[in-house]
Amino acid sequence: MVQSFLPVLERIGEEIEGLAGRGRPADYIPALAAVDPNRFGMAVAELDGTVYGVGEWQQPFSTQSVTKVFTLALDLAREGDSLWEHVGREPSGNPFNSLVQLEYEHGIPRNPFINAGALVVTDRLHRLTGDASGNLLDFLRTESANQDLDFNRDVAASETAHGDRNAALAHFMASYGNITTPVPTLLREYFRQCAIEASCADLAVATGFLARHGIRGDGTRLLTRSQAKQVNAVMMTCGTYDAAGDFAYRVGLPGKSGVGGAIIAVVPGRCTLCVWSPGLDDRGNSVAGVAALDRFTTITGLSVF
């Protein structure tokens, strides 16, 4: 089992140690606000599933929007291109909750990674499977080979209690006919996905199919080669809220962040990464997480550019 990047991770771990001003944790729900913003972990998964890391790389945390990538992949695998009639794949150019573009574009969200878009993808997966969040959890358990992965029910409840904005988005799209699951059901499914807890190790391994051009850990195919590239492309242009351009500029890898402080990233054909640190910048991305990935591509030269 090769651990090609271990020395690089160790160097990054040391550098990040000294990083001042790591931002603030998300504060819209108590469960997230209580986390120490200075915590840090980082893991790399090789193509063969070997995983290793530095810092708290085996510590579970709230995955939040990171799971949007997996839900997208699961739906795309099932319904293919017809998904794109219901959600776009262009950057939003606005803060991640904005209703403005949604109104100008008649209820079709710009991409699957803004909240509105993720609600649409959840709606579609739920129509096809009857259990969107359950399918997602099964997939993550299998791919990470960790049957202990689960929803944090307190977080899900807390999200629901503070869920007026997502309820507004869902009803708004329903008014355009772009959501058909009853809104309370849809929100339950959506918030459960956000509330899955996993570690850097779990997520780095589970993301492997995007570095293997669509092949799951057991060698079966989830996505076509084209679809895997397409998911990576959407991550590159839309994966980090209104900072996708900056992320591409600094890191140069397809990536997806969550307000829990995690970021997953893909080096196509080579490896996958997950970094976690709960302190966020003002655009919702982990300060230490972006810095660590920036260092990774600078040291290894593995940016796609």
Q: Which residues are annotated binding-site positions for substrate?
A: 65, 115, 159, 166, 190, 241, 259
- For the chain, where are the E strands, in sequence order? 41-46, 51-55, 61-62, 150-151, 196-198, 255-257, 262-267, 271-276
Whole-angstrom Cα distance, residue 102 to residue 106?
A: 6
Query: Shortest distance, CB of residue 104 to a copy of itself, whole angstroms?
Result: 8
Query: Shortest distance, CB of residue 100 to a copy of itself, whole angstroms?
Result: 5
Query: Shortest distance, CB of residue 270 to a copy of itself, whole angstroms?
Result: 12
Query: Shortest distance, CB of residue 77 to a copy of itself, whole angstroms?
Result: 16
CB 234 within 8 A of CB 72: yes
Query: Shortest distance, CB of residue 13 to a copy of itself, whole angstroms?
Result: 22
Residue 138 token pair:
């099964």
Complex with a copy of itself: residue 105 or 154, whichever CB lies closer: 105
Complex with a copy of itself: residue 59 or 94, whichever CB lies closer: 94
Four-residue CA torsion sign, 71, 284, 37, 293: positive
Whole-angstrom Cα distance, residue 238 to residue 194?
A: 18
Query: Shortest distance, CB of residue 137 to a copy of itself, whole angstroms?
Result: 27
Whole-angstrom Cα distance, residue 12 to residue 138?
A: 32
Whole-angstrom Cα distance, residue 233 to residue 245?
A: 13
Complex with a copy of itself: residue 137 or 204, whichever CB lies closer: 204
Q: Cα-flanking dihedrals φ and ψ of residue 256, to 5°?
A: -140, 130
Strand pairing of 255-257 and 51-55?
A: unpaired
Complex with a copy of itself: residue 7 or 249, whichever CB lies closer: 249
Complex with a copy of itself: residue 89 or 216, whichever CB lies closer: 89
CB 117 within 8 A of CB 87: yes
User: Quick check: helix, strand or coil at residue 87?
Assistant: coil
Query: Shortest distance, CB of residue 120 to a copy of itself, whole angstroms?
Result: 14
Give every CB contact of residue 239 below 8 A, 6+ residues apart in sequence: 69, 113, 247, 254, 255, 256, 257
Whole-angstrom Cα distance, residue 50 to residue 16?
A: 24
User: Residues interacting with a copy of itself, by CB under 8 A?
Assistant: 88-94, 98-101, 103, 110-111, 164-165, 167-172, 174-175, 183, 226, 228-230, 232-234, 236-238, 242-246, 248-249, 252, 254, 268, 298, 303-305
Complex with a copy of itself: residue 25 or 88, whichever CB lies closer: 88
Complex with a copy of itself: residue 111 or 135, whichever CB lies closer: 111
State how far the alpha carbon of 2 is from the alpha carbons of 45, 49, 50, 51, 81, in Å.
10, 10, 7, 9, 37
Q: What residue numbers does the annotated binding site cover?
A: 65, 115, 159, 166, 190, 241, 259
